[in-house]
Amino acid sequence: MTFNVDRIRQDFPILSKSNRGKPLAYLDNAASSQKPNCVIACLAKYYKEQNSNVHRGVYALAEEAEIEYQQARQTIADWLHVSTEEIIFVRGATEALNLTAHCFSQSKLKSGDAIILTQMEHHANIVPWQMVAKEKNLKIKVAPIMNDGTLDLECLSKLLREEDTKLLSLCHISNSLGTINPVEQIIKEAHDRNITVVVDGAQSIPHTRLDLKKMDCDFFAFSGHKVFGPMGIGVLYGKKELLQAMPPYQGGGDMIDQVSFEGTTFAPSPQRFEAGTPNVAGAIGLASAIDYLSNQNMLELAQHEDSLLQFAQTELQKIKGLKIHGNAAKKVAVISFSIEGVHPHDLATLLDSEGIAIRTGHHCCQPLMESLGVTSTARASFAFYNTMEEAERLVDAVQKSASILC
Ligand code: PMP
């Protein structure tokens, strides 16, 4: 069957909503994605028919919840081509990156070691490293970006060759620029020098079919809500041998082997990193979103998104005074832009009155904004359920708003 956006849109009930009296054009997918009926139904079913705490119940309901929870882990592990021991359920990409920074630095980094980040990182992939750097006296080095919004690979290589570099943490896809980083090539180069690589996959997981074994990253973080799943659930993938060498993140129930007042021993991964009652419904809902994607042709979805990107970029660029930040040849359908003399917030307010939802601000990338010479941008970000008509409405509304605001 060929790609049919109208058929796809029927799976997402919120898309038929109106916004300020106009049909909603939801173009804020980099912030959070909408949910298909199957995910919504799955959450309702869990709370109507399956809800109970997991792990220790002997009654049928608890057994059912446990089976569903572990099946969700299996679905996600299969989707990413890794094993279930390597999949840790967390609250989202932020928690996954905090966990990695904290626990990996405890087990493997020592005073004087250097961590490389890039100029295009989200605060979630900057602040946790700064916190552990302060605690453990680590250095942070930053790989710059080029004018087109791609990574300066030559500078990155230079940093990777420095003796004190022990870890690189970078985004697969930039949430502000849409740039797709050549992570496989970078990981290979880093591994040749025994450097551990953490990939922030928050923005790549909704757009591409990933094989983490092939990518060969050491850690990979993402959030369920950006991949058509529920909020409050996310995943940290880590290579088994690295996870087993790491101390726990939080202490409490479910992450232990034996507890006494003399001391505690810990369960193996993933339980070691999942202290307390987990977000069972969230995990099952995320697996349902992954099942939904498994039933789609991801290549077709990506091609559709790319046609929206090419159209919107070409047309927006024709607007006087409009500048697109990030023109990488390889990018996803995320367009950050500024218009000379127009505050992005005013622009977004006018677009909202036309039913169009975009985001403005620093997009949790203040160091990137600084290097772009702006404090904020307007950002339109597309998903496969967006239509060419919505892209046209965006262009028309930006044009109209610019003529009002300039
Ligand atoms: N990294 C990137 C690249 C992101 O876009 C985001 C969300 N904007 C995050 C990390 C953090 O995700 P969350 O807020 O869902 O934890």
pLDDT digits (tens, 9 = 90+) for 38-75: 999 999 999 999 999 998 889 999 999 999 999 999 99
Tally of CA atoms within 13 A in the half-sphere of 5 that contains its CB: 17
pLDDT at 1: 56
Residue pair 166/115 in contact by the 8 Å Cβ criterion: yes
Considering the domain architecture, whether residues 320 and 268 belong to the same structural domain is answered as no
Alpha carbon of 44 to those of 14, 282, 336: distances in Å? 16, 11, 36
Pocket probe for ligand 1: among 100, 119, 175, the residue whose CB has the most ligand atoms within 8 Å is 175
Angle CA 114–153–144, to nearest 5: 65
User: Of the residues 276, 294, 312, which one is the last residue of a structural domain?
Assistant: 294
Pocket probe for ligand 1: among 364, 365, 366, the residue whose CB has the most ligand atoms within 8 Å is 364
pLDDT at 159: 98
Question: What whole-number distance in Å separates Cα of residue 10 and Cα of residue 16?
Answer: 8
Considering the domain architecture, whether residues 334 and 290 belong to the same structural domain is answered as no
Containing structural domain, residue 385: 5-29+297-405
Considering the domain architecture, whether residues 158 and 23 belong to the same structural domain is answered as no
Question: What whole-number distance in Å separates Cα of residue 90 and Cα of residue 69?
Answer: 13
Task: Provide residues with CB under 6 Å of ligand 1.
Answer: 92-94, 122, 124-125, 171, 175, 200, 202-203, 223, 364
Question: What whole-number distance in Å separates Cα of residue 190 and Cα of residue 168?
Answer: 8
Say what angle helices 93-108 and 127-136 make with each other, to 10 degrees: 20
Considering the domain architecture, whether residues 222 and 363 belong to the same structural domain is answered as no
Alpha carbon of 182 to those of 80, 150, 155, 189, 377: distances in Å? 18, 10, 14, 11, 25
User: Of the residues 294, 327, 346, which one is the last residue of a structural domain?
Assistant: 294
CATH code, 66: 3.40.640.10
Considering the domain architecture, whether residues 108 and 239 belong to the same structural domain is answered as yes
pLDDT at 3: 87
For the chain, how many structural domains are there in total?
Answer: 2
Locate 328 and state its tokens. 């990488």
Locate 209 and state its tokens. 């079919």
pLDDT at 354: 97
Is 218 inside any structural domain? Answer: yes
For the CA of 31, the closest atom of ligand 1 is: 8
User: Of the residues 265, 294, 323, which one is the last residue of a structural domain?
Assistant: 294
Residues of the chain with pLDDT under 50: none
pLDDT at 194: 98
Is 36 inside any structural domain? Answer: no
Considering the domain architecture, whether residues 314 and 283 belong to the same structural domain is answered as no
CATH code, 382: 3.90.1150.10
Give the active site residues: 364
pLDDT at 57: 84
Question: What whole-number distance in Å separates Cα of residue 168 and Cα of residue 373?
Answer: 25
pLDDT in tens, 299-327: 999 999 999 999 999 999 999 999 999 99
